[in-house]
Structure 1
Amino acid sequence: MVLSKAFGTILHQEYHIPWSKINVIPGGVDTSRFQANLSRQEARSQLNWPQDRKILFTPRRLVNRMGIDILLSAIAKIKSKLPDVWLAIAGKGVLRDSLEKQATELGLSNHVQFLGFLPDEQLPIAYQAADITVVPSQSLEGFGLIVLESLACGTPVLCTPIGGMPEILAPFSPELITEDTDVDAIALKLEGLLTGKISIPSRNACRDYAATNFNWTKIAQEVRQVILKS
């Protein structure tokens, strides 16, 4: 069993395992923990985040493959058209100092906040406080649990076409997948989403999609069926 077709393709192409022996079962999300139980304003108030800005949120380890440097450059590219955009970055990692320096050099001091470690209990609140969660991965994103967590909290997700993330979003809202992993592709989608040129799924639609298709009861039944067949 694998979490995504992307993993299955690697097993098939690199290790010559026939598709008939590969079962693709996605990961699930705890819909009782990740839920849309706060208004955006309430969530922002709890975190002391701005009430009057377009907020992007990304919870990522600060390492190269996560693409935070690319995202910062994309924010710099759109800030003149969207001066109220604000990016909250949760996470720790070896690149924090260099990323903070990059943000300063790009003139993003008023547009980016590095939150550091975000306690587990605040993660669902942060998702609900954001207009969009962004996952700018550059490689090795096997499934993309962040995508499900955010959707379960009612917040749409913009992701790059890496690993299993497109498999989650394509049946729901393919417009939320960038054309490429580079700065221009991410900036183009962000600008479209934040200006309304690209429609954003509603809070209820995001929540319903995650809760219906990726709740653990459903995923457990799929695993059970595979075990019973083996």
Structure 2
Amino acid sequence: MKTLMIMRSQTSVPGRAGVPGGQIGMIQIARALPSLGAQVNLFVGGPRMAYFAGLDDLDPSYLRWPAWLDTAITAAPRGVRTAGRRLRRRRWLSTVTRLPGFADADVIHVQGLDDAEALLERVGGPIVVTHWGRVGKWMPTGTDARADEALARRISRIRANAEIVAIGHAQAKALADADLPASAVIPPGIDLQHFTPGDRDDARRTLGLPSDERIVLYVGRLAADKNVETLLTAFAGISRRIENSRLLIVGDGPTREDLQHAATRLGVDASVTFLNFVPHDRLPAYYQAADVAVVPSNLLETFCMVALEAIACGCPLIVTDQVPEILHDFPDVPAVSPYDVEGFQEQMTAALHGRLRPADNTRITEYSWSGIARKYADLYQTAHRRGSGEVSSR
């Protein structure tokens, strides 16, 4: 089966800004499919980003769209910004439809509804689309009838030409509410040869971390929906009571500077370390070194890869109630409300005193990429191209 996978480089969140789950997921699916007999071509719309480190053994093709140009488009006046985005979209479509593996692909698999909609401007279905993000922009406003009618037409076209994959049951419900029912629910996977338990002291020596520190770990984007400021506030409350406690923040994003100021305001800047981007292939050592990992998200996580990685590495974990997929499959993971500072403090205190055990990971094998890829291979059977190579004249 000849499979063309199309994804975007996350230029809006540069390589230093955490690990983009959707991009990592598409790459890992592409790596796992050949063992099932699939011939895979992977196309990345955008420059090679740092998070590809250790994951680009498939030799993907890139559209070398410079990241600085994305920044310029975003900062431009509205009319120029709209024109720039249209130009970028046309170039992307032109490049995709001229790929060597495009005309004879048995299956086309796209990351995200936006790219699926764009591709359907030039090709007929069926295509497979895994939607890794939230669904809010696909919901009608209820206040603008004309806009809602236009959105309904767009949704109808996607629904008629795409096999939609939700990455979790909560997301599947949101898609159904948007009149975009999922054909399948297939969660992301994890490389169980890479994310494994390890010796804490060895991991700390590898990372140059003191053996006597009590380490709280955050991994991910630094953005408002990640609620890291509440984690900082909670940590400030326990750092004065627990000697040698440290908060490691791995990632970057738009709220980094605000969070650094918050650490100073809270008086814990000496006990909080902001790390630059850590490549995907080096993350396991951080989970192995930490006493506890925390996911403080205040908005629904469609699926939380960080939580899955921590569980696989045997790192005790605290989450909020905004990660329902993890809490369903790993019910012994403690959860608190997003702004429950005392709840965070109670759980972190238990972890730093060795009273919070790692989650029961007996179900972690269900998330192996080989098993996830098999689910996609089964879905592909319903999405073989009819009239492959036919490109619309639009």
Relative to the length of structure 2, the TM-score reads: 0.51
Q: Is the 8 A contact 1:8 1:22 kept in 2?
A: no
Which stretch has the larger CA shift, 185-194 or 1-10? 185-194
Return the letter of the residue paired with 1:2. A
Q: Which residue of 2 aligns with 1:174?
A: 332
Q: Is the 8 A contact 1:56 1:88 kept in 2?
A: yes
Return the letter of the residue paired with 1:35. T
Normalized per residue, the structure richer in helix is 1
What secondary structure, in the 3-state scheme, does the structure 1 residue paired with 2:370 have? helix
Q: Which residue of 1 aligns with 2:169?
A: 5
2:288 is aligned with 1:135? no
Return the letter of the residue paired with 2:263. A
Q: Which residue of 1 aligns with 2:189?
A: 28
Gaps of 5+ in 2: 1-164, 384-394
1:43-122 → structure 2 map (5 Å cutoff) = 43-122=203-282
Return the letter of the residue paired with 1:11. L
Return the letter of the residue paired with 2:305. L
Q: Which residue of 1 aligns with 2:314?
A: 154
Alpha-carbon displacement from aligned partner over 1:62-120 (angstroms, at most 9, x marks no partner) = 22111111110010122233233211001122222221111111111332111122233
Gaps of 5+ in 1: none
What secondary structure, in the 3-state scheme, does the structure 1 residue paired with 2:184 have? coil
Q: Which residue of 2 aligns with 1:191?
A: 349
What secondary structure, in the 3-state scheme, does the structure 1 residue paired with 2:247 have? strand
Q: Is the 8 A contact 1:26 1:214 kept in 2?
A: yes
Q: Is the 8 A contact 1:67 1:138 kept in 2?
A: yes
CA drift of 1:176 comes to: 2.2
**Whole-Å Cα distance in 1 between the matches of residues 331 and 201 of structure 2?**
25
Report the aligned-residue RMSD. Answer: 2.3
Q: Is the 8 A contact 2:294 2:317 kept in 1?
A: yes
**Whole-Å Cα distance in 2 between the matches of residues 26 and 87 of structure 1?**
29
Determine what percentage of the aligned residue pairs are the same residue: 33
**Whole-Å Cα distance in 1 between the matches of residues 331 and 247 of structure 2?**
22
2:279 is aligned with 1:126? no
Q: Which residue of 1 aligns with 2:46?
A: none
Higher radius of gyration, 1 or 2: 2
Return the letter of the residue paired with 2:189. G
Alpha-carbon displacement from aligned partner over 1:153-210 (angstroms, at most 9, x marks no partner) = 2213211111xx33223332434222x101333223223333455x4136xx44x542
**Whole-Å Cα distance in 1 between the matches of residues 199 and 310 of structure 2?**
14
Return the letter of the residue paired with 1:69. E
**Whole-Å Cα distance in 1 between the matches of residues 358 and 194 of structure 2?**
21
Structure 1 pair 80–173 and aligned structure 2 pair: CA distance change class (3 A)? farther
Return the letter of the residue paired with 1:50. P
Q: Is the 8 A contact 1:61 1:91 kept in 2?
A: yes
What secondary structure, in the 3-state scheme, does the structure 1 residue paired with 2:297 have? coil
**Whole-Å Cα distance in 1 between the matches of residues 363 and 289 of structure 2?**
19
**Whole-Å Cα distance in 1 between the matches of residues 311 and 358 of structure 2?**
10
Alpha-carbon displacement from aligned partner over 1:204-228 (angstroms, at most 9, x marks no partner) = x44x542x12101222233344455
Match of 2:372 among 196, 208, 219: 219
**Whole-Å Cα distance in 2 between the matches of residues 209 and 110 of structure 1?**
38
**Whole-Å Cα distance in 1 between the matches of residues 374 and 348 of structure 2?**
37
State the aligned residue count: 218
Return the letter of the residue paired with 2:193. S
Alpha-carbon displacement from aligned partner over 1:124-159 (angstroms, at most 9, x marks no partner) = 111111111111112242111111122222213211
**Whole-Å Cα distance in 2 between the matches of residues 167 and 120 of structure 1?**
22
Match of 1:200 among 357, 369, 375: 357
Relative to the length of structure 1, the TM-score reads: 0.83
**Whole-Å Cα distance in 1 between the matches of residues 318 and 211 of structure 2?**
21
| Greater RCO (Cα-Cα under 8 Å, separation 6 or more) | 1
